[in-house]
Amino acid sequence: MKKFVVLTKVLLKNSFSTFASGKNRNKKNLLYMALIALSILPMVIGIGTSTARMYDLFVQVKQEGILIASGFVSISVLILVFGIFYVINIFYFAQDVDTLVALPLRANQITSAKFTVTLLYEYLTVILFLLPLIIAYGIKSSGGILFYLYSFLLLLGIPVIPLAIDALIIMFILRYINIAKRKDQFRIFAAIFGILLVFGINYVTSTYLNAQTNPGKVMALLQTSKNSLINTVSTIFPTTKLATLTLLNYDSYQGLYNLFLFYVANLFFIALFLIAAEKLYFKGAVGGSEVSSPAKSFHKEELKKISVKNSALKAFTLKEIKILFRTPPYFINCVLTNFLWPFLLLFAFGGVGNDLGKLQALLSKSNPDSIILAIALAAGLFITSSNGITGSAISREGTNFFVNKFLPISYREQIYAKLLPGILLSFSGTIIILFAAVFLLKISLMVLIACIILSLLGILFSAQLGLMLDIQFPKLIWDNEYKPIKHNWNVAINILVSTILGAAVVVVTIMLELDLGTTLIGLSSLLLFLNILINKILFTVGLKSIAGIEI
């Protein structure tokens, strides 16, 4: 137990190294935390207010419990799908794995410490999405102290089973597959599998719920008993039914009984995980942090081609692009995501004809082209921020960042070299979406050109904002390549700011009902102003900050 506690503390200290200690960092840490709080506040308020509104609707048909059930099911499925990547990288591909395996530690001590660290990361997701829902539901239902006490205990337990299932699956697979020489290929395969799994879950869930919620069945369920729809929703992830019933019956012994059963299920999966780890982990983890590549010889002609002299800016930019494409976590999260959005849109619209019909109905109003312009701008903002290329550009350097201080290239050129890959890849993804929109929405060539201009302005703003944030608050100490992206609040802040700006632009455009020319001039002027402002900050404050970054 003592070794588990000590190891967990060490792993946590390494994981949360962004918040460095020392007097010089205190003000910066406070500013960073304030930015995080301000960025997530609108989303938290939105979840809370939406829950309150939906409660008023569902309580009229005595089905308000479906709100809690839906929240628990959604977060459980989310953790089950994306937790796979956390488990793979923290358990097997972290730089500390080979060191820990060589120490006098048992397999279940190492895995339980890593499981705890992974669990703490998932608690951030749980708190962000479920806490406002629980609070809003508790206020609307006049929940007592026990309601909030049970809620706290449930929030602690909700991520455990999905993560344990992920760990069991990965440990079993890697026990019988030698990944020492195929680590990168395995991660790419796992990512593609995860993407297909998301599509599959979405399709199966939609099909199942559509079959279960036709008017006849819904009316029959409504007439059966109070909160009868919970059974339908909870079927997707059965243990969430126990969590839901705990809160719905918090003021009776049934609530305590369901809470007891919920934790029995959690303890069962934890025990299963520890037993499996003791037998499977070491055999799959040895050599997991190593990467090998086939030897390759070059002829004189090939050496001449790869030895061509380039400008410092071009060479640094090409270096950034090659790293993005050659490092699986960067390729999956930063490159591949740019080209997934068109397929997500086609999947959504192709699978649900009513949604496309509603969008076309919205665009059939007096000024549809203006709305399309606003959506194109919002798309550029969101794609650029969500790929995290510039939002993690400094953090991806890790402890090797000090090398940049000795390279024969100015900090100004380094900033440009960090910006260009993000702009180019984001623009590529946005262009694909715009051309898909030509076929889906039948937009004209003039509108398409205007959309390209506005989306490019949005891309420039979001790219510069992301890089500015990462220069100010870099995460340079990490033990696997996922952390500078997935565990980087700079990326999250950029996503939230860009999303809020994009949503505000779309809403205002719809409300004002401006013509195409006025909308184009107005939005272009706004984005030009924002780009000039952030560019000025980036090349004044940012230049000073990047020169002062220390490991």
Q: What pLDDT does residue 270 have?
A: 94
For residues 450 and 522, give the distance between their C-alpha atoms in angstroms, rounded to a whole number: 12
Cα–Cα distance list, 292 to 94, 180, 288, 399, 435 (Å): 16, 8, 11, 22, 40
Contacts by 5-9, CB closer than 8 A, 24 or more apart: 7/100, 7/105, 7/109, 7/110, 7/113, 8/113, 8/116, 8/117
* 3-state secondary structure string across 397-433: HHHHHHHHCCCCCCHHHHHHHHHHHHHHHHHHHHHHH
Q: What pLDDT does residue 177 have?
A: 73
Q: What is the pLDDT along the chain (551 residues), one digit of tens a residue?
A: 788 888 888 888 776 655 555 555 566 667 667 766 776 777 788 888 888 888 888 888 777 888 888 889 889 988 888 888 788 888 887 778 878 888 888 888 899 999 998 898 889 889 988 999 999 999 998 888 999 999 999 999 999 999 999 999 888 888 877 665 566 666 666 667 666 666 666 665 555 555 555 555 545 544 555 666 667 666 677 888 899 999 988 888 999 999 999 999 999 999 999 999 988 888 877 755 555 555 556 566 666 666 666 688 888 999 999 999 888 788 888 888 888 776 666 555 544 444 555 555 555 555 688 888 999 999 999 999 989 999 999 999 888 888 888 888 889 999 999 999 999 999 998 898 888 777 777 778 888 899 999 999 999 999 999 999 999 888 888 877 878 887 788 898 899 899 899 999 998 988 888 888 888 999 999 999 999 999 999 999 988 888 888 76
Cα–Cα distance list, 83 to 71, 169, 392, 485 (Å): 17, 11, 21, 15
Residue with tokens 């090998």: 292
Amino acid residing at 179: I
What is the value of pTM for the model shown? 0.69
Q: What pLDDT does residue 260 have?
A: 95
For residues 385 and 102, give the distance between their C-alpha atoms in angstroms, rounded to a whole number: 40
For residues 320 and 488, give the distance between their C-alpha atoms in angstroms, rounded to a whole number: 19
Are residues 485 and 31 in contact, defined by beta-carbon separation less than 8 angstroms? no
Q: What pLDDT does residue 237 have?
A: 79
For residues 100 and 77, give the distance between their C-alpha atoms in angstroms, rounded to a whole number: 31
Closest CA to 17 of 78, 96, 93: 96
Of all helices (H) and strands (E), which one includes residue 204? helix 183-212
Give the CA count within 13 Å in the CB-facing half-sphere of 372: 32
Token pair for residue 500? Answer: 């809020």
